[in-house]
Structure 1
């Protein structure tokens, strides 16, 4: 059971989007906040990103910027350039101008906004992954492949791009976790075999009526040790996380399958459809049937 892959699959909704964005200085554009995650990759030239709060971020060729919660931001060729564009769907890929050319790949991921996951909750609003020789070669390869498919579509591109975007998301998260010298929170989860053993058990069998004692036995430690290390990394007690994972799994099944509610209830540990529906509505604010019918496809960043 791959914890990171399963977690991303559980919170992803809809289809990712991406595109090539080319501007010639001077240029400045605003990206509104969206209910998902976004990214920018600079392929040529340089630019600045100005968050609503905090220091501006300088991006050079090869740099990646990841925004886990799709925070509003401005991006421009120079800090003194006024913002004149709003990122919206359907705008031109390239606009002419007298100055230096900048080429970026920009994209967005839909994420289930009604119930989050601590892995994403604890990430900063803006994650800058600078291009450094020898660092994160897998991320660089994914960026190169994505850029080629977007710049020169060929037969199969429509299938290749979503797969590459899913891979890129995982590689951006991996790169961030690898950059943490003193990992805490979820960055520390993947280096703690006790916690990962317990998480794998929960992810593999969410329908099981786990107890802390049973999870401790799986992890090979005492209940007190598991509780302390689990809370210190995951951010909540084991059984609270079990409930969270059950609800995320149920939401994914509702979005992606036509399974009956009674069947989904059993798969996530509820003996009756009524008990499941009550628990689901408490977490998501919607009954399972209403959630399934609701349009969960979020806005995406214009690219």
Structure 2
């Protein structure tokens, strides 16, 4: 490569030996779909579903027919065959054949469906394995996948997304939708795991396509392609527990300390050690959601020498203690 960064020392083969993790992989390597709610919805017009499940993320795609995603207080988003829409929760929204169609069904937390008056109607709409609606031969077939876990690591990713993200069929064109459609109606051993992984693949592919658009990607994602900052981010994500210094990180990347510090700050928007602190605390928050995890064990996994040190950093940055965070997360999950 003829291009060389100022202050970067050439080391033959160095880039190929860097053991790191790109930002998107790191952010999706925490809570993955586990028992995600996948459903095929089949309706004849007019139809309208009011979604109030408070899920952090929902993926929608139409197999047959057309529809609209109508966020509260925002412009309706079309959903045509082959399109894919990602909705960032927890705000409510409506999915309908037309934006003007009034809601007929309300989806509550736990995927409980009722009429607008609150009458339960899950059994009435049941059409078989992971299928519900007015009839299997209906004009509209919509597939939805809902992530129901609130992981703090994925929160960093969610904050980078708009409330509603749409990829039309022409730019999207993924074979995963057809595969998901083929698998969603099956009831075989291990089927839940198959569907969870397909939903993960669908989400990752969609996010890569979205972030590839000019100006759409957050700074930490764009920095991944940089020949200096990209490897540095990968190393921090892969091993946050290591006692990193800017000097050590620069040495691993084959650059001077000053060159790395300046370029990292320019591209990511904060210095390397500030970014590392945020990443460590995001990882800690996610690990604290595990019921059997002790504060001391979490501290060791994210690079703090003791539970006290982690607690002090957590409270300084987030304004609450790890125990308070855990209590709130537990209360939210219960609700």
Q: Distance in 2 between matches of 1:25 and 1:298?
A: 35
Superposition pairs for residues 123-202 of structure 1, below 5 Å?
123-132=161-170, 135-137=171-173, 140-180=174-214, 185-202=219-236
Q: Which runs of 4+ in 1 moved over 6 A?
A: none
Q: How far has the Cα of 1:63 moved from its partner?
A: 0.7
TM-score normalised by L of structure 2: 0.75
Gaps of 5+ in 2: 1-19, 113-121, 126-131
CA pair 118-248 structure 1, distance change in 2 beyond 3 A: closer
- Of stretches 68-77 and 191-200 in structure 1, the one that deviates more from structure 2 is 68-77
5+ long unaligned stretches in structure 1: none
Q: 1:245 aligns with which of 272, 279, 282?
A: 279
Larger radius of gyration: 2
Q: 2:271 and 2:215 mapped to 1: Cα distance?
A: 25
Match for residue 68 of structure 1? 88
TM-score w.r.t. length of structure 1: 0.82
Contact 2:35 2:193 (C-alpha < 8 Å) held by counterparts: no
- 1:130-177 C-alpha deviation (Å, 9 max, x unpaired): 111xx445xx22222222121233333122111212222211211211
SS at match of 1:193: coil
Higher RCO, 1 vs 2 (CA within 8 Å, ≥6 residues apart): 1
The number of equivalent residue pairs is 295
Is 1:295 matched with 2:330? yes
Equivalent residue number for residue 206 of structure 1: 240
Change (3 A) 1:236 1:37: farther
The match for 2:139 is: 101
Shift of 1:246: 1.3
Aligned mate of 2:260, from 223, 226, 230: 226
